[in-house]
């Protein structure tokens, strides 16, 4: 899989400039780039059918990589408020504080919730770094309809960049396909929500 863009929203304090963060950041990027389709093919090739591919199997290799590096999954974020916004997809404990990742292939509303969850964690100092991983606009048309994508988050970047930062990192990693081919199988879809919508022909305008 290709990393098409990295948007750094915040980078401040000693940890952001540390070798430890640079190494961790590099391993996160390697785990994204290791995602492939078909599985074990060594590259991510999408069958270019409009809304023709699911999203759940995409991150399998990513999950396996992180679990092998002591990341945990579905960890709660402990904010100071009694109202909690739900679990984080991935968490890694470090001596500087937890690093959190949200892999976002839900709908665009879910993407905004994930971004705000990470932002709150940084504001309250309960995470040291927050990483959002989301599809590019180039890949978006071939996945489940209305999933989150970077272009739909872009109008709100100035808001997240305006957060007062004493120490921490806030980034968006944007992924997309290495190639397109009608010879590869479609990625299986789930059975609920927008995943149930029928795919359009590959010849349809996207």
**Known catalytic residue: 104?**
yes
Q: Which of 7, 95, 102, 104 is catalytic?
A: 104
Greatest alpha-carbon span in the chain: 52
Residue 123 token pair: 């504001």
Would you mind telling me the total number of residues written for the chain in this entry?
Answer: 206
- Give me the DSSP letters along 4-73: EEEEEEEEEHHHHTSHHHHHHHHHHHHHHHT--BSTTSSSBEE---TT-B-SGGGGHHHHHHHHTTT-EE
Active site residues: 104
């Amino acid at each position: 899989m290709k990393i098409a863009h990295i948007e750094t929203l915040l980078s401040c304090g000693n940890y952001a400039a540390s070798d430890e963060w640079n190494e961790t950041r590099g391993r996160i990027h390697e785990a994204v780039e290791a995602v492939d389709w078909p599985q074990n093919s060594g590259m991510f090739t999408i069958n270019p059918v409009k809304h023709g591919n699911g999203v759940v199997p995409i991150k399998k290799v990513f999950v396996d990589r992180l679990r092998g590096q002591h990341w945990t999954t579905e960890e709660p974020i402990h904010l100071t408020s009694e109202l909690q916004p739900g679990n984080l997809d991935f968490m890694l404990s470090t001596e500087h504080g937890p690093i959190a990742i949200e892999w976002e292939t839900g709908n665009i509303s879910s993407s905004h919730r994930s971004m705000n969850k990470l932002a709150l964690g940084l504001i309250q100092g309960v995470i040291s770094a927050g990483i959002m991983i989301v599809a590019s606009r180039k890949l978006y048309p071939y996945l489940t309809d209305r999933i989150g994508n970077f272009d739909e988050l872009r109008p709100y970047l100035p808001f997240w960049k305006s957060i007062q930062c004493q120490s921490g990192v806030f980034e968006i990693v944007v992924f997309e396909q290495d190639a397109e081919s009608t010879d590869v199988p479609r990625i299986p879809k789930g059975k609920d929500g927008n995943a149930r919508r029928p795919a359009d022909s590959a010849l349809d305008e996207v």
